Structure 1
Amino acid sequence: MKKTLNLEDYFRIIERYLTMIIAIMLFFGSLAAFSTALFMPPQYEAHTEILVSQSQETEGVSEQDSNSSPPMINTYREVIKSQAVLDEVVKNLNLERSTVVLANQITVDNQDQSQVVTVTVTDLHPKNAETITNEIAGVFRESVHEVMNVDNVSILTAANVGDEPSPVSPRPLFNITIGMLLGGLLGLGIAFFRTFFDKRITTDKEVEEVLDLPVLGTIANFDIQKGD
Structure 2
Amino acid sequence: MEDSLNVERFLSVLKRNIASIITSMLLVGILAALVTYFVMTPKYEAETQMLVSSPGDSVVVDFENIETNLQLIHTYRDIMLSKTILEDVITNLDLDMTVQELSRQITVTNQDQSQVLSITVVDESAERAVEISNEVAVVFQERIVEIMYVDNISIYAPASVGPDMLPVSPQPLMNIVLGLVAGLVLGMALAFSRAYFDKSVKNEGDVQKVLGLPVVGSIAKIED
The CA deviation at 1:222 is: 2.4
Output aligned runs, 1:84-99, within 5 Å: 84-99=84-99
1:8 matched to 2:8: yes
Give yes or no for the alignment of 1:68 onto 2:70.
Answer: yes
Residues 1-80 of structure 1: matches in 2 within 5 Å? 6-55=6-55, 62-69=64-71, 72-80=72-80
| Distance across 1 between alignment mates of 2:103 and 2:207 | 68
Q: Report Cα offsets for 1:108-164 as digits up to 9, x if no partner.
A: 111112111110011111111112111111111111122123211122211123024
In 2, the alpha carbon distance for the partners of 1:124 and 1:212 equals 66
1:208, 1:98 → 2: CA distance? 71
Provide, for residues 40-83 of structure 1, a one-character-per-residue CA deviation record: whole Å limited to 9, x for no partner: 11000000111113428xxxx921222213xx332111111112
Q: Return the offset for 1:14.
A: 0.7
Q: What is the number of residues matched between the two proteins?
A: 215
Which residue does the alignment assign to 1:144? 144
Name the residue aligned to 2:188: 188
Higher helix proportion (structure 1 or 2)? 2
Deviation larger for 74-83 or 12-21: 74-83
Cα distance in structure 2, aligned partners of 1:125 and 1:5: 58
SS for the counterpart of 2:200 is: coil
TM-score by length of 2: 0.87
Amino acid at match of 2:194: R
Q: For 1:196-215, what aligned pairs fall within 5 Å after superposition? A: 196-215=196-215
Aligned to 1:109: 109
Maintained 8 Å contact 1:54/1:150 = no
The one-letter amino acid of 1:62's match is: E
Could you say what secondary structure the match of 1:6 adopts? Answer: helix
Q: Distance in 1 between matches of 2:178 and 2:152?
A: 47
TM-score by length of 1: 0.86
Q: SS of 2:170's equivalent?
A: coil
Pair 211,94 (structure 1): closer, same or farther in 2 beyond 3 Å: closer
Determine the C-alpha separation between the residues in 1 that align with 2:210 and 2:96: 73
Gaps of 5+ in 1: none
Distance 1:116 1:153 in 2: 10
Which letter does structure 1 place at the counterpart of 2:43?
Answer: Q
- 2:102 maps to a residue whose letter is L
Distance (whole Å) between structure 1 residues aligned to residue 14 and residue 211 of structure 2: 27
Root mean square deviation, CA, Å: 2.0
Question: 2: CA distance between counterparts of 1:97 and 1:194?
Answer: 51
Q: What amino acid does structure 2 have at the position aligned with 1:116?
A: V
- Structure 1 residue aligned with 2:130: 130
State how far apart, in whole Å, the 1-side matches of 2:5 and 2:194 are.
13
Identical pairs, percent: 43
Q: Structure 2, unaligned stretches of length 5 or more?
A: 57-62
Residue 182 of structure 1 aligns to which amino acid in structure 2?
A
CA distance in 2, matches of 1:213, 1:82: 78
Residues 165-218 of structure 1: per-residue CA shift (max 9 Å, x gap): 210001122122222222211111111111111112212222333344433332
> What is the rounded CA distance, in whole Å, between the counterparts of 2:68 and 2:5 in structure 1?
65
